[in-house]
Amino acid sequence: MVQMTINGKVVKAPDGEMLLTVIRRQGIDVPALCDHAAVEPCGSCRMCLVEITREDWNGWKKYVTSCLYPSENGLIVSTHTPELQEIRRNIMDLYLARCPGSELVQKMAEEYGLTRTSYKTIPEGDNCIMCYACTRICEVLGRNAISAVHRGHAKVISGPFDDPPPDCIGCLSCANICPTDVIEWHDQDGTRAIWGRTFDLISCRQCGKGIITRDFAEYLKEKRQIPADYFEICDDCKRVELARKMGGLVDLAKEVAS
């Protein structure tokens, strides 16, 4: 355990735990766009910046991304100084220029009193904030299907060589984790389209409802040894099936007893 001071309060935390986790546990709301519990932090959104200093630093201080800075003894952390709020406001101003269509960005910018950006909006902007949440979750999944391609202004998240990703299994983890909802997908007639690819959805044997993609089921079967027949019926029909089977046993037990 280490001892730190956060906003004037003495706080104990496990050695090496990231500052953002410790700060949030104290009930202090530090904004972040790229943070998610299931993925490794990467410090790309810059919103979780905090000011750190130590007694032996003689008044010297620095700004660090709290999601990437490990706790250490004697750290003095401030989370909402006027300078930090100014930095966060400027970052939101830039995000607003890059992603004018994102509801989350608009909402967060409003908290800093911004309704429109003071910069020039990117005309062909796509609302992607380049936080890499999608590529990081794909990495955790073990597929690494998508990553950043091209350089500079042309940088986008896509499959290798900006082609449809061959390793994608259509699980939608990337689309669901995306903070600005830019990853487009749709289910139609038993197929799912995402990243320029079309996947076959397994349809429930009984009601025809789409369950998950065949590739995803295949991957779960191979990686986590889930029997393939578990994926053939949808959850609604499985519950009815369970009631029928359990009910059969109850009736049988009653018959035997009488």
Partner 1 sequence: MTYRYTVNPSRCTGCRTCELACAFTHTQEQKPGRSRIYPIAYGPDRFVPVTCLQCDDASCVKSCLFDALKRNETTGAIELDKDRCVNCRACVAACPFGCALVDDVHDQVVKCDLCGGSPACARFCPTKALEYKRIA
The strand pair at 185-188 and 156-158 is best described as unpaired
Among 62, 122, 247, 252, binds partner 1 (CB under 8 A): 247
CB closer to partner 1 out of 47 and 233: 233
Chain Cα centroid distance, residue 60: 34
Phi, psi at 222, each rounded to 5°: -75, -40
Q: Which stretch binds partner 1 (CB under 8 A): 8-16, 49-57, 80-88, 221-229?
A: 221-229
Minimum CB separation of residue 5 from partner 1 in Å reads 26
Count the site residues for partner 1 by CB under 8 A: 43
Using CB under 8 A, which residues numbered 87 to 146 contact partner 1? 137, 140-142
CB closer to partner 1 out of 13 and 92: 13
- Spatial neighbors of 131 by CB under 8 A, at least 6 apart, are 33, 34, 42, 44, 45, 179
Among 161, 166, 254, 256, binds partner 1 (CB under 8 A): 254
**Residue 214 touching partner 1 (CB under 8 A):** no
Query: How far is it, in rounded angstroms, from Cα 97 to Cα 91?
Result: 10
| CA-to-CA separations, 14 to 1, 79, 171, in angstroms, rounded | 4, 19, 34
**Residue 148 touching partner 1 (CB under 8 A):** no
Longest dimension (CA), the chain: 87
- Per CB under 8 A, residues contacting partner 1 are 36-38, 137, 140-142, 171-173, 176-177, 202, 211-212, 216-217, 220, 223-226, 230-231, 233-244, 246-248, 250-251, 253-254
